[in-house]
Amino acid sequence: MRPYSALDVLWNGLTGQRGWTRAWRDRAPRPAYDVVIVGGGGHGLATAYYLARNHGLRRVAVLERGLIGQGNAGRNTTIVRSNYMLPGNREFYEHTLKLWEGLSQELNYNLMFSQRGHLALSFDPGFRDAFARRYNTMRMTGADGRWLSRSEVQARAPYLDWSQSARFPIEGGFLQQRAGTARHDALVWGFARAADARGVHIVQNCEVTGFLREGGAIVGVETSRGEIRAEKVALAVAGSTGPLAAKAGLGKLPLETHKLQAFVTEPLKPIVHQVISSARQGLFYMSQSDKGGVVFGGEIDGHPSYAQRGGLETYSEVMSKAVSLAPFLARTRLLRQWAGVVDMSMDGSPFITPTPIPGLYFNAGWNYGGFKATPASGWCYAHTIAHDAPHELNAAFSLDRFARGRELDEEAAGPVPRLH
């Protein structure tokens, strides 16, 4: 892999852009690997990269049913933050933010990571107290965050509804300045290129249809491109976790599969200078992409679904939230709307863990928050696969935590996925 450089860009600009080569190779599958990762999204590719970089594994394949990055990696709202409070979550998400801060350099790929800040709006004393506790905890455990008064929020976000007639008057907000946004496709391609350079095979259009077993162990996968044997098989398939885990024999899981919509407006001049989130009218979050579109979303549709298609009732609810919070959005045109299939866990926290089945590893349950977690998810999953045991950063993300009374319920919402 030849590293990209400013000189490269200049030279190719002068010579008709003829010097660029493929960023990564589209491989045909080999009959056997040390590790097969199922799912070529951000998490799967990051895992492959860290298996090669941190643990020296070279015979690693990432199998993707379609094209890499075409699932939730290409459907999210690209927000990166680490404002988590519970032990088990906060260290993990702060680790992911720290990885993000050096990742463009490390991968030699511009992830367009912009630490423009994440602002959680406060509308009432109850929220302020709960989030003061959360942000104080973050500050004591190594993350950043601080309270902004109403006038400080207004100075940063004058486009919100500050009028006397605002449906939900804003009284202030909590800022995490190191949070921000990144380019989702670049994350996928950056990890794919860096993994490929270290010998990882990226195999596209290769759907896993079943598992090879010997004794009680899983020793490979059946795919649409033939059988592939592997010492270790690692799932990273987000919304497809349920059906694949059932084939693997994992049985019932602490997950429900839902659909989550996202929206983007026509490109506007820069106006939303940070990530805005609100929990007052139900969940709402927005940011502005570098192309100018205001990207926003709300809650999941509320019932299990595998259709990558959202319902009108949630669509109109998100629009009403958007307009009540930022009235200028009523005058913009909506350019696109889409939905992704998300694996909602029963406590709102993820899983990165070995499984009771030898040879099978499990990564799922990312709810709304999988994009920001991608680097640390890959980092921890690679450790878990290489050592057959979780790293301390993902020790809490086990499948049996519900049976042990150790659920990680950041929102204190109970075992109801639509409330997380």
Partner 1 sequence: MRLTCPFCGPRDVAEFVYEGPFSGAPQTERPALSAAPAAWVEAVFLRDQPRGETRELWRHLHGCGCFLDVLRDTLTHEVRAVAFADPADAAAMRAKP
List interacting residues with partner 1 (CB under 8 A): 241-243, 245-246, 251-257, 302-307, 309, 311, 313, 317, 346, 402-403, 407, 415, 418
- Of 331 and 404, nearer to partner 1 (C-beta) is 404
Q: At what angle do helices 90-107 and 370-387 cross, to 10 degrees?
A: 90
The three-state secondary structure class of 404 is coil
Q: What is the C-alpha to C-alpha distance for residues 34 and 291, in angstroms, rounded to an integer?
A: 41
Cβ-based nearer residue to partner 1, 111 or 360 = 360
CB of 367 to partner 1, least distance (A): 14
Rounded to a whole number of angstroms, the minimum distance from the CB of residue 419 to partner 1 is 11
Q: Which residues contact 2 (CB under 8 A, 6 or more apart)?
A: 8, 21
Identity of the residue, 310 or 369, whose beta carbon is nearer to partner 1 in the bound complex: 310
Backbone phi and psi for residue 378, each to the nearest 5 degrees, phi listed first: -65, -40
Q: Is 361 left (phi over 0), alpha (psi -120 to 50) or beta?
A: beta
Q: Closer CB to partner 1, residue 32 or residue 419?
A: 419
Nearer to partner 1 among residue 117 and residue 297 (C-beta)? 297
Smallest gap from Cβ 330 to partner 1, in A, equals: 21
Whole-number Å distance between alpha carbons of 400 and 283? 28
Rank residues 31 and 251 by Cβ distance to partner 1 and give the closer one. 251
**At 192, which amino acid appears?**
A
Nearer to partner 1, 104 or 355 (CB): 355
Minimum gap (Å) between residue 412 Cβ and partner 1? 16
Nearest C-alpha neighbor of 61 from the set 13, 115, 25, 93: 25
Residue 211 Cβ, how far from partner 1 at the closest point, in Å? 16
How near is the Cβ of 66 to partner 1 at its closest, in Å?
17
β-bridge partners, 61: 36, 201
DSSP label at residue 26: B
257 neighbors 314 (Cβ within 8 angstroms): no
**Strand order through the sheet with 334-345:** 146-149, 172-176, 118-122, 275-278, 284-288, 294-300, 255-265, 334-345
CB of 301 to partner 1, least distance (A): 9
